[in-house]
Amino acid sequence: MHRQSISVDGLRLLIIDDHADSRELLKIFFETQGAEIKAVATVSEALELIFCFQPDIPIGEIYLPDETVHSLFAKVRNLEAKQGRWIPAIALTRFATDKDRAYALKTGFHIHLCKPIDLDKLVCVVASLSRRKQLNALL
């Protein structure tokens, strides 16, 4: 019963990470939890998927090789305004300083988590954001 309360089954998640092993680990983990996953390495790839895949929650690195996530989330927030939907986002990063946390929150992430992360904790955070998103949709 408790397991059902932290379910991510049916969620659409977008993993954005330039580290291939991290992308693959998260992709496999969330697929086994019943989520639909797309995983990309760059902001430009993420932008394409934000519009066509319409993820419930993007999970990503805060610094990527092609550009910063600031440009990505500026466009995501613009999409939210146009569509009237809230898109929560999780920064999952190896950058763990207070400055990095502040940057992540400033650029549009709602939660800043540091690698390595306990996967059970991550699934709880994703499920929690999903519940908040569902509540926001009802209001």
pLDDT > 80? residue 8 = yes
- Model pLDDT for residues 16-41, shown as the tens digit of each residue: 999 999 999 999 999 999 999 999 99
| 93: helix, strand or coil | strand
Q: Which residues pair with 90 in a beta bridge?
A: 59, 111
Q: Which residue has the higher pLDDT, 77 or 44?
A: 44
Q: Which two tokens stand for residue 56?
A: 């419930």
| 53: helix, strand or coil | coil
Sign for the pseudo-dihedral over CA of 133, 85, 34, 26 = negative
Q: Which residues lie below 8 Å from residue 25, measured CB to CB, with a gap of 6+?
A: none
pLDDT > 50? residue 1 = no
Cα(105)–Cα(53) distance, rounded to whole angstroms? 23
| Domain 11-138: CATH architecture, name and number where available | 3-Layer(aba) Sandwich (3.40)
Indicate whether this model's pTM tops 0.85.
yes
Q: Where are the domains of the chain?
A: 11-138
Q: Which two tokens stand for residue 127?
A: 């499920």
pLDDT for 84 equals 77
- Model pLDDT for residues 53-108, shown as the tens digit of each residue: 989 999 999 888 877 677 787 777 777 778 777 889 999 999 999 999 998 898 88
